Amino acid sequence: MTNSSNKNDSWGTRTIWGGEEEYFFQGATQVPIVHSVSFGYEDIDSWHDVALGKQKGHIYGRNSNPTVEVFEEKVRNLEGAEAATSFSTGMAAISNTLFSLLSPGDRVVSVKDTYGGTNKIFLEFLPRFQVDVTLCDTTDHEELEKEIARGCNVVYLETPTNPTLKVLDLKRLIDAAHDAGAIVIVDNTFATPINQTPLTLGADLVLHSATKYLGGHADALGGIICGTAKLINIIDHFREINGSTLHPMAAYMLLRGMKTLYLRIKQQNESAMKIARFLESHPLVEAVYYPGLESNEGHDIARKQMRGFGGILSFSLKGGMDAVRMFLPRLKYAHLAANLGAVETVAAPPRTSSHVECSEEERAAMGIPEGLVRYSVGIEDTDDLIQDLEGALVDLNIKTDHASDSV
Ligand SMILES: *Cc1c(COP(=O)(O)O)cnc(C)c1O
């Protein structure tokens, strides 16, 4: 976790050179994948100094690794943080962070629309350790401010949210949290540092499921958290002991994916905007959820705090789940799967992916229509994607007419 910063460079340059300014082992221009579990020392005194953190180096692979360290450095650079530490998955980043910072009697304030796994930690696990969790209506900023002001230790935010792309006003909630003396954690997975940097708005910690956009190729799991050295040291220490270490092979694949992060996000932002406008004007589409649309409730806040609106949108079809069941398999250019943020377009109904564990009533209470489709735009040609959607909707039109005729 060196501190060489080229913060003034532009995003495309930082995604390439961040953490990789110098040649590696024997002049290798590309990061070596160091699979060694341990690191040997002829000199017992330097071994001791490394162990005490007085000298740079590695001792044991659960604690640190040269390949993993380069990945941490690249994301640290992009988020503009003092320090970063990585994990085997995004959920490991989230759970290790919460369990290392919270103690019995503490209180967390968050929103109802966090990622499904995070929601499970809040409702199933933290209460067992006497941590009180209050989940507010996601866009009710007044309720959030009121609950934060009642006193809390951690304010946990995620924006835009999954799957309806709600937007939280980060600056406003961070200020409220700091007035109450709370630490603010932001899940920045959907936005990526290219579109949004919560630390520059005052957040204490920013985390990612690197499995999604950072890696970008849906072939490696990983997680990372960035923030002040003081907080990262606490979390890193817990992670070392808990053992949810990022594998060096995964770190390499994530790093390789990150070299195109800026190009991918630029393309995905543009495509998602065009696709959102296309869908908004389609007669069989009931509603489109995308913060880039002027009609979207979160548009003004998104414009204030994001440099781009992201590559994920969702939309509901007239005809509900029956229509979705016919529509999705007709898409030629989309994996029907649970991941997102990949180079390929991925489409999924929340009721079989992110919110499979909720009942229909719970989904309705969260404002998730049964006929919703989450669409993670890949880097395919935008016109091909629009044609693909258009074609699938034309077929759907015939089918729905048939279905209603026969009733
Ligand atoms: C996928 C995801 C996670 C969890 O990450 P894993 O790498 O699957 O553990 C957390 N937050 C968000 C917003 C996600 O999309």
- pLDDT at position 328, please? 96
- Residues 83, 222 within the same domain: yes
What gap in Å lies between CA 254 and CA 224, rounded to an integer?
11
Tell me the pLDDT tens digit for each residue of 96-148. 999 999 999 999 999 999 999 999 999 999 999 999 999 999 999 999 999 99
Q: DSSP E strands: which ranges in 44-100?
A: 83-87
- 28 exposure class (CB count in 10 Å sphere: 0-12, 13-18, 19+): exposed
Q: Which of 87, 211, 376 for a ligand 1 pocket mutation test, highest count of atoms within 8 Å of Cβ? A: 211
Q: Are residues 48 and 189 in the same domain?
A: yes
Lowest mean pLDDT among 30-34, 141-145, 321-325: 321-325
Asked whether 97 lines ligand 1 (CB < 6 A), one says no
- Decide: 221 in ligand 1 pocket, CB within 6 A: yes
pLDDT above 60: residue 306: yes
Does residue 225 sit in the same domain as residue 314? Answer: no
Any atom of ligand 1 within 6 Å of the Cβ of 211: yes
CA distance linking residue 324 with residue 63, whole number of Å: 46
**Do residues 269 and 392 share a domain?**
yes
- Say if residue 27's pLDDT is above 80: yes
Would you say residue 329 lies in a domain?
yes
- Apex 252 CA angle, 217 and 188, nearest 5: 60
Distance 70 CA to ligand 1 centre (A): 21
> Residue 92 CA: which ligand 1 atom is closest?
9
Answer with the one of 258, 278, 306 that is the final residue of a domain: 258
Same domain as 191, residue 153: yes
Instruction: Quote the pLDDT of residue 406.
Output: 39
- From residue 76, how far is each of 6, 87, 189, 316 by CA, in Å? 11, 14, 14, 37
399 neighbors 288 (Cβ within 8 angstroms):
no
**Active-site residue, from 41, 62, 172, 303:** 62
**pLDDT at position 355 over 90:** no
In a domain? residue 400: yes
C-alpha to C-alpha distances, 83 to 26, 87, 190, 205, nearest whole angstrom: 27, 14, 21, 10
Of the candidates 373, 163, 195, 398, the residue with the CA atom closest to the CA atom of residue 285: 373
Same-domain pairing of 205 and 353 = no
27: left (phi over 0), alpha (psi -120 to 50) or beta: left
SS3 (DSSP) at 49: helix
Which of 146-155, 167-176, 358-367 has the lowest average pLDDT? 358-367
pLDDT digits (tens, 9 = 90+) for 158-201: 999 999 999 999 999 999 999 999 999 999 999 999 999 999 99
Decide if 289 contacts 161 (C-beta within 8 A).
no
Is there a domain that residue 1 lies in? no
Residue 6 lies in a domain: no
Same domain, 229 and 160: yes
The reported pTM is 0.94
Q: How far is 115 from 384, CA to CA, in rounded Å?
A: 30
Q: Which of 226, 258, 290 is the last residue of a domain?
A: 258
161 CB near ligand 1 (under 6 Å): no
In this predicted structure, what is the pLDDT of residue 188? 98
Distance of CA 209 to the CA centre of its chain: 5
Domain residues for 271?
262-406
Whether 324 is in a domain gets the answer: yes
Q: What is the pLDDT at residue 402? A: 44
Point out the ligand 1 atom lying closest to the alpha carbon of residue 221: 7
CB of 212 closer than 6 angstroms to any ligand 1 atom: yes
Band of pLDDT at residue 7, cut at 50, 70 and 90: low
pLDDT for the residue numbered 2? 42
Tally of domains within the chain:
2
C-alpha distances out from residue 129 to 103, 240, 243, Å: 8, 21, 20
207, 270: one domain: no
- Supply the CATH number for residue 273's domain: 3.90.1150.10
Active-site residue flag, 115: yes
* Model confidence at 233: pLDDT above 80: yes
Active-site residue identified among 76, 112, 113, 115: 115
Residue 93 CA: which ligand 1 atom is closest? 9
The residue out of 197, 226, 258 marking a domain boundary is 258
Which residue is catalytic, options 106, 113, 169, 187? 187
Res 31 pLDDT > 80: yes
- Domain membership flag for residue 4: no
Are 236 and 288 in the same domain?
no
**CB proximity list for 146: less than 8 A, separation 6 or greater:** none
The residues, ordered by sequence, that sit 6+ positions from 148 with a Cβ below 8 Å of its Cβ are 109, 155, 173, 176, 177, 179, 180, 182
Helix (H, G, I), strand (E, B) or coil at 130: coil
Confidence of residue 354 (pLDDT cuts 50, 70, 90): confident
Strand, coil or helix: 171: helix
Residue 212 appears among annotated catalytic residues: yes
Is the CB of 90 within 6 Å of ligand 1?
yes
Give the per-residue pLDDT at 397: 58
Predicted local distance difference test score (pLDDT) of residue 341? 98
Q: What's the pLDDT at 6?
A: 58
CATH of residue 51's domain is: 3.40.640.10
Q: Could you tell me if residue 3 is inside a domain?
A: no
Same-domain pairing of 252 and 325: no
Give helix 66-79 / helix 248-258 axis angle, nearest 10°: 40
> Mean pLDDT, to the nearest integer, of 306-323?
95
Give 225's DSSP letter.
E
- For residue 94, give the ligand 1 atom closest to its CA: 10
Q: Are 333 and 376 in contact (CB under 8 A)?
A: no
Say if residue 323 is in the same domain as residue 183. Answer: no
Contact (Cβ atoms closer than 8 angstroms) between residue 349 and residue 373 = yes
Distances in Å between the alpha carbon of 226 and those of 75, 210, 315, 316, 388?
Answer: 8, 12, 32, 35, 38
- Produce one character per residue of 67-79: b if its CB has 16 or more CB atoms within 10 Å, e if not: bbbbbbbbbbbbb
Pair (319, 384) in one structural domain: yes
> Of 76, 112, 166, 212, which is the active-site residue?
212
88, 115, 167, 339, best to mutate for ligand 1 pocket (most atoms within 8 Å of CB): 115
Is residue 5 in a domain?
A: no
* pLDDT band at residue 5 using 50, 70 and 90 as cut-offs: very low
The predicted-structure confidence for 67-104, as pLDDT tens digits, reads as follows: 999 999 999 999 999 999 999 999 999 999 999 999 99
pLDDT at 362: 75
